[in-house]
């Protein structure tokens, strides 16, 4: 059996994040519909548009390495999304719903940031400068989204979640 290389690991991880992004793309509209805060709803809708561009960049990275875009099931993102769906069910109509949705969204962002940071570092190591540039672009978007979600949590969503509804 041939020894696995960093090229192999890069490709496998690329398939993983490709699956994750496509799954996230399907989930964001549900999260937007479930959100009560208009700014959170808008953030989910904006991230859906960004995710479409991120998928296109991943397809370009596959092209750079001479492989067709393929997804590999990612149990990590499946679990994170499942937790978000549970929050939507368990907290529907509750003041804490948006705080839970936002936390689930940030768990997704942190997973993506980790993956894109790793893939970028490996692309640079492998001499894939064009791929690294594309991955860095997505990494910057994911970090910006995470920062925006943090600000929204601190200034509105968590505050609203802490208020008690009148009985």
Domain residues for 149? 6-160
Residue 166 lies in a domain: no
Q: Decide if 95 is inside a domain.
A: yes
Cβ within 8 Å of residue 45, ≥6 positions away: 28, 32
Count the domains in the chain: 1
- pLDDT tens, 39-85? 999 999 999 999 999 999 999 999 999 999 999 999 999 999 999 99
Using N-to-C axis directions, what is the helix angle for 75-90 and 6-34, rounded to 10°? 10
The 3-state DSSP class for residue 1 equals: coil
**pLDDT range class, residue 6, cuts 50, 70, 90:** very high
Identify whether 167 is part of a domain: no
Domain containing 141 — which CATH number?
A: 1.20.1260.10
Q: pLDDT by residue (tens digit) across 79-95?
A: 999 999 999 999 998 88
């Amino acid at each position: 059996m041939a020894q696995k290389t960093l090229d192999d690991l890069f490709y496998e991880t690329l398939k993983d994040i490709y699956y994750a992004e496509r799954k996230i793309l399907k989930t964001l509209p549900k999260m937007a519909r479930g959100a009560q805060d208009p700014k959170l709803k808008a953030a989910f809708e904006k991230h859906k548009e960004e995710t479409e561009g991120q998928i296109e960049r991943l397809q370009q990275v596959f092209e750079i390495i001479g492989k067709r875009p393929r997804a590999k099931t990612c149990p990590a993102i499946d679990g994170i999304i499942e937790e978000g769906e549970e929050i939507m069910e368990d907290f529907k109509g509750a003041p804490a719903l948006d705080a839970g949705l936002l936390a689930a969204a940030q768990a997704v962002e942190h997973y993506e940031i980790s993956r894109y940071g790793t893939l970028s570092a490996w692309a640079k190591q492998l001499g894939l400068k064009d791929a690294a540039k594309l991955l860095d672009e997505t990494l910057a978007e994911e970090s910006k989204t995470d920062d925006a979600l943090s600000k929204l949590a601190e200034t509105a969503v968590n505050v609203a979640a802490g208020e008690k509804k009148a009985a």
